[in-house]
Amino acid sequence: MKPRQIVSYALVAAFAAAFFMFARTPATNAEAAYDGEPEVVAATFASAWCSACKVLKPKLAKVIPGFKDKPVAFVEFDFTFGPRDELKAEADKYGIGELYERNKGATGFTVLVDRDTGAVLDTLTMNFSEEAMRAAIAQAVAIASHTDETLAPPL
């Protein structure tokens, strides 16, 4: 076998490994799975090649377990290999198909959406601290749930 063939086979094997590692269906974070119907969808638009995602996702991963019993669905749309039908199907399942269509292929952010109204409540980026992420998600839940009296206008 020639050295050129060995290199070619190695590249094919590396690509295949990367494909199977990243070409997966969108994942809902099981650690933060809420048993009921979520009121807020936290949709992360990401990819393996996105440098902003490499900052955003570890921070978000530390914040997510604190919302385990809150009505939030954390879902990720991985565009490493581009937009795919199963990503659109997942977005439709969470009632954010239109948001997906507007942002498909863009990466490096998490959008907090009121599931009932479709309103974007906030957008988390790599510039948010963990504390700011927690506060933004908690506020989104309060708005969507209409539970925080401080958000209601005074009588």
Residue 75 pLDDT: 95
Structure tokens at 135: 């506060």
Residue 7 pLDDT: 57
Residue 82 pLDDT: 86
Alpha carbons within 13 A on the beta-carbon side of 79: 18
Residue 30 pLDDT: 43
The backbone region for 146, taken as left when phi is positive above 0, alpha when psi lies in -120 to 50, beta otherwise, is left
Does residue 14 lie in a domain region? no
Does residue 18 lie in a domain region? no
- With a cut of 70, list the residues of the chain below it in pLDDT: 1-2, 5-36, 147-155
Does residue 4 lie in a domain region? no
R_g of the chain computed on alpha carbons: 18
Does residue 35 lie in a domain region? yes
Residue 65 pLDDT: 96
Quick: pLDDT tens for 32-50.
455 567 899 999 999 999 9
Number of domains in the chain: 1
- CATH code, domain with 103: 3.40.30.10
Range of the domain at 37: 25-151
Does residue 70 lie in a domain region? yes
Residue 153 pLDDT: 46
Does residue 11 lie in a domain region? no
Residue 83 pLDDT: 86
